Amino acid sequence: MPVCSVIMPAYNACETISESIESVRAQTFEDWELLVIDDCSTDTTADVVRHLANLDDRIKYFRMKANSGGPSRPRNKGVSEAMGRFIAFLDSDDIWYPAKLSRQLSAMKQFGWHISCTGFDVFKTDKEIIGKYVPPINAGYEQVLRENSLGCLSVVYDTQVLGKRLFPFCGHEDYALWLKITREGNVCYGLQEALCAYRLTPGSVSRNKLRVLRFFYQIYRRQEGFTPVRSAVLTLQYAIRNFGKYRRAGSPL
Segment 92-102 shows an average pLDDT of 98
The whole-angstrom separation of Cα 150 and Cα 143 is 11
Q: Are strands 59-63 and 32-38 parallel, antiparallel or unpaired?
A: parallel
pLDDT grade for 250, boundaries at 50, 70 and 90: very low
Which pLDDT value is given to residue 210?
Answer: 77
pLDDT grade for 211, boundaries at 50, 70 and 90: confident
Kindly report, as residue ranges, where domains of CATH 3.90.550.10 are found in the chain: 1-93
The whole-angstrom separation of Cα 1 and Cα 86 is 11
Q: For the domain bounded by 1-93, which CATH number is listed? A: 3.90.550.10
190-207 pLDDT per residue, tens: 999 999 999 987 655 455
The whole-angstrom separation of Cα 236 and Cα 19 is 37
The whole-angstrom separation of Cα 100 and Cα 23 is 10
- CA Rg, the chain, in Å? 17
Q: Could you tell me the pTM of the whole model?
A: 0.92
